Chains A and B, each alone.
Chain A
Amino acid sequence: MELITLIGAITVFILAIFLGFELITKVPATLHTPLMSGANAISGITIVGALIFSNTDYNGGNPGIAAWLAFLALILATINVVGGFAVTNRMLNMIAGKRRGN
C-alpha cells in the first residue's frame, strides 16, 4: 500500500464520521428504533469483504481455514443485511400504515 492511498483512506474515514454526525442530528423519537435498525443493516456492508475473501481461497479445491472463516463471515453478514433491512421495512410499514389510516 502506498502512503498516498493510506492517507486517502484515512481522509475518507474522518470525513465520513463527520458526515454521519451531521446526517442524523434531529430525529423524532418514533424513528429511533427503525433508524438504529437501518443503520445496523448498512453496517452489514462488510459483506463485500466477506465476498472477496470467500473467493480467494477455494482455489485448487483446497479450502483452508481462511476460506471457511470467510464463508462463515459471508453467511453472518448476509443475515445482518437481509434481516436488518427486512425488519426495518416492517417497522416503517407499521408507522406508514397508521399515517394512511388518517
Chain B
Amino acid sequence: MDEAVWDIGYLVASILFIMGLKKLGHPRTAPTGNLYGALGMLVAVVVTIAQMDFGLSNNFILIIAGLAIGGIIGYLMAVRVQMTGMPEMVALFNGFGGAASALVAASEVFRRINENDLPEGLELHVAWTAIGLSALVGWVTLTGSLLAMMKLKGGVEIFGTWYRTPTWGPEWLNYVKGLVLISIVGLLYMTIEEPGNQDYVIAIIALSSILGILFVLPIGGADMPVVVSLLNSLSGIAAAFTGFIIGNNVLIIAGSMVGAAGLILTNIMCKAMNRQLIDVLFKSFGGSDKEQVTRTKVGSDPEEVAMICDGISKCVIIPGYGMAVSQCQHQVREFADILEANGCEVKYGIHPVAGRMPGHMNVLLAEASVPYEKLIEMDDINSEMGECDVAIVVGANDTVNPAARSGEGPLAGMPIIDADKARVVVMVKRSLSVGYAGVDNDLFYEDKTMMLFGDGKKMMTELVSSMKEL
C-alpha cells in the first residue's frame, strides 16, 4: 500500500480541527467543538503511530511511556487547577507547546549533524530555515510564557522567600530586542552557509530564549492577557514551522489556523483597552512607578450597605480580578438572589478586560450559575448606568476608574464601566491601593461611594447575612 494513503487520516484530522475551532466560537456548539478538536488530535496521533516502523527496537514502549507521562501530568494539572489559576495554566500550556516545537526542531538538527546526514540545495534551505524559525518562535514562546505566568501570579516563591516578578524596560531595551532579533536572523543565514556547525544552533536557542524574556519583561501586569493571547498565536506558528520540517500538512494547517485565531483574539483585547498592539508591546505601561496613595476614606460596614440596598429597584454588579482571587462568585450570586427576591433588577456589568483573561468573569459567574442573559457587556450596561440605584464593584479598580476619561496617564483612553453614574457606588476592596495600572482612583473618595474594606468573600458573606437580617 502506498504510504501516502495515511495522509487521508491527516486530512480527516485537519477537517476535525477546522470544524472544532469554528464550533468553539459559538456558545451552544462549543463543547462539541472541543470534542472535535480532541478527536482530531487522537486521529492524528493514531495515524502517526500506525504508520511507524518500529523494527526490532523498543521505541514503541518508549513512545507509550512518553504519552502516558505527559497525559497523566496534563490531566492532573487540568483537573486540579483553580478557576483563578486559569490564566497561568493557559500560559504554561502555551509555553509547553512552544517548547515541544522548538525541541522537535533541535532534535532534527542534532540528528542530522551527528549522523552527518546534511541536506543539500533547496532542501537545505527549507529545512534549516524552518528549523531556525521554529526554534526562534518556540523558545521565545517558552521563556515568554513562563515569565508571563510568573507575572500573572505576581511573583515566585523560592525556598520560602517571595520574589515579586519585576517589570523593567527603559526605552533603549527596544533597540536591544531589535539587535537580538537581527543577530538571530544572521545566525540563521550562517547555519545555512555552514550546516554542520552546531554552535550556531546553540546560539540561536540561547538568543531566542533571551529574546522571549526581554519581550515580556517591560510589559505590565495589566497587559498580560494581550501577551498570553499573542503567545498562544506564536505557539501555533511554531507548530506550523515544525510542519515544514517534517513535511506534514496537518501541522501546517492546525498551526497557522491557531496562529491566526490567537492574533484575532489579541486584537479584540487591544480594542477593548483602546490601545494599539504596538504600544502594548513596545511602550511600557502599568509598570513599577505606582502612584503613592495619600488620601484616606472612611470604610463602611456591611449593615450600612445592606440598608442602602433595601428597596432599590436596579442594581448593577461589576466584578473584577478581586472576585477571582477571593473566589466569592457564589456569595455574589447569593446576594443578587436576595435582591431579586425583593423585586430588584440585577445585572452584571462585564468589562472586556476584567480579570486576567478575556471572559474570565464570565467563566467564574457561570460557575456560580448566573444566567447568561444577565451578563451585560460594557457598552450596553453603560447606557443603563444612569438609572442604576446601586453599583456594586467587587474587586475591580482600573476598569471603573474615571481617570481613564481624562486623557492623561497610563489609563488614558481606556473605555471603562461608568460605575460613577450610579446613585450609590459600593466598592468591595481590600484597601485604597492602586490597581494594576498604578493609578489612584478618584471614585473611592466621592461622597456617594461606600468602601467595604476586606476580602471579597468575607465581605460578600457578611453582606448576604446582613441582607437576610433586614
Interface residues of A (CB under 8 A from B): 1-3, 5-6, 9, 12-14, 16-21, 23-61, 64-67, 69-99, 101-102
10 nearest CB pairs, A to B:
A78-B70, A20-B260, A83-B74, A32-B358, A73-B103, A82-B74, A86-B78, A66-B111, A32-B359, A77-B100
Residue of B20, B96, B238 near A42 (CB, 8 A) is: B20
Q: Which residues of B have CB within 8 Å of A78?
A: 66-67, 69-71, 74
Instruction: Decide: A44 and B252 in contact? CB cutoff 8 A.
Output: no
Distance to closest chain B CB from A90 (angstroms) = 7
Contact between A46 and B127, CB atoms less than 8 A apart: no
Chain B residues close to A by CB (< 8 Å): 13, 17-18, 20-22, 24-27, 30-31, 33-34, 37-38, 40-41, 44-45, 48-49, 52-55, 57-59, 62-63, 66-67, 69-71, 73-75, 77-79, 81, 86, 89-90, 93-94, 96-97, 99-101, 103-104, 106-108, 110-111, 114, 122-123, 126-127, 228-229, 232, 235-236, 238-240, 242-265, 268, 350, 352, 357-360, 362-363, 366-367, 369-372, 375, 377
Which of B58, B229, B256 has the most chain A CB atoms closer than 10 A to its own CB?
A: B256
A19–chain B nearest beta-carbon distance, Å: 6
Which listed residue, A47, A65, A72, A76, touches B114 by the CB 8 Å rule? A65
Q: How far is the CA of A88 from the CA of B242 in the complex (A)?
A: 24
Q: Is the interface of A mostly helix, strand, loop or mixed?
A: helix
Residues from chain B with a CB closer than 8 A to the CB of A89 are 31, 34
Contact count A vs B, C-beta below 8 Å? 385
Tell me which residues across on chain B come within 8 A of A70, comparing CB atoms.
Answer: 103-104, 107
Q: Using Cβ atoms and an 8 Å threshold, which residues of chain B touch A41? A: 37-38, 41, 93
Q: State whether A49 and B37 are in contact (beta carbons under 8 Å apart), knowing that A34-B359, A75-B66, A82-B78 are contacts in the complex.
A: no
Separation of A66 and B21 alpha carbons in the complex (Å): 33
Q: How far is the CA of A39 from the CA of B40 in the complex (A)?
A: 12
Q: Which of A12, A39, A43 has the most CB of B within 10 A?
A: A43
Question: How many Å lie between the Cα of A21 and that of B21 in the bound state?
Answer: 11
Contact (Cβ within 8 A) A80 B103? no
Q: Which residues of B contact A34 (CB under 8 A)?
A: 24, 30, 34, 359, 363
- A57 / chain B contacts, CB cutoff of 8 Å: 107, 111
Docked pose: A53 CA to B100 CA in angstroms:
12
Q: Is the CB of A21 within 8 A of B264?
A: yes
> Are A40 and B90 neighbours in the complex by a CB distance under 8 Å?
yes
Q: Is the CB of A29 within 8 A of B244?
A: no
Q: Apart from A16-B260, A84-B74, A98-B371, list 11 A-B contacts with CB within 8 A.
A: A1-B126, A24-B265, A38-B33, A43-B239, A46-B251, A58-B57, A73-B99, A78-B69, A78-B71, A82-B70, A95-B30
Point out which of B104, B106, B244 has the most chain A C-beta atoms below 10 A from its C-beta.
Answer: B104
Q: Least Cβ distance of B164 to chain A in Å?
A: 26
Cβ contacts A to B, 29 pairs, < 8 Å? A6-B122, A6-B126, A16-B256, A18-B260, A20-B21, A20-B257, A20-B258, A24-B25, A24-B261, A29-B362, A32-B265, A34-B30, A35-B24, A36-B90, A38-B34, A40-B258, A42-B37, A44-B239, A46-B104, A64-B111, A66-B111, A73-B104, A74-B63, A74-B66, A76-B96, A78-B70, A83-B75, A83-B77, A99-B27
Residues of A within 8 A of B243 (CB): 9, 13, 49
B358–A29 CB distance below 8 A: yes
CB distance B24 to A69 under 8 Å? no
Determine the distance from Cα of A95 to Cα of B361 in the docked complex, in whole angstroms: 12
Q: Which of A13, A41, A42, A56 has the most CB of B within 10 A?
A: A42
Contacts of A16 in B (CB 8 A): 240, 252-257, 260
Measured in the bound complex, the distance between the Cα atoms of B38 and A24 in whole Å is 18
Chain A residue at smallest Cβ distance from B355: A33
- What residues of chain B lie closer than 8 Å to A64, measured between beta carbons? 110-111, 114
Report how far A2 CA is from B41 CA in the complex, Å: 28
Within the assembled complex, what's the spacing in Å between the Cα atoms of A65 and B363?
Answer: 43
Residues of A within 8 A of B25 (CB): 23-24, 26-27, 31, 35
Chain B residues whose CB sits within 8 angstroms of the CB of A85 once the complex forms: 34, 37-38, 41
A38 CA / B63 CA spacing, docked (Å): 24
Give complex CA distance A94, B70 in Å: 25
Say whether B22 contacts A87, CB under 8 Å: no
| Chain A residue nearest in CB terms to B235 | A43
Q: Which residues on the A side are within 8 Å of B245 (C-beta)?
A: 49
Task: Out of B235, B254, B256, B369, name the residue touching A101 (CB < 8 Å).
Answer: B369
Which residue of chain B lies nearest to A28 when distances are taken between CB atoms in the complex? B27
| Nearest CB of B to A49, in Å | 4
* Contact assessment for A48 and B246 in the assembled complex, using a CB-CB cutoff below 8 Å: yes
Judge whether A48 and B250 touch: CB under 8 Å. Answer: yes
> Given A40-B94, A73-B103, are A79 and B363 neighbors across the interface (CB < 8 Å)?
no
Contact, CB under 8 Å: A84 / B265: no
B41→A42 contact, CB < 8 A:
yes
Q: Are B127 and A1 in contact (CB under 8 A)?
A: yes
- Evaluate contact between B375 and A39: CB separation under 8 angstroms: no
- With a cutoff of 8 Å between Cβ atoms, the chain A residues found around residue B74 in the complex are 78-84, 86
Q: Report the separation of the CA atoms of residues A56 and B3 in the bound assembly, to the nearest whole angstrom.
A: 17
In the bound assembly, the distance between CA atoms of A44 and B98 in angstroms comes to 8
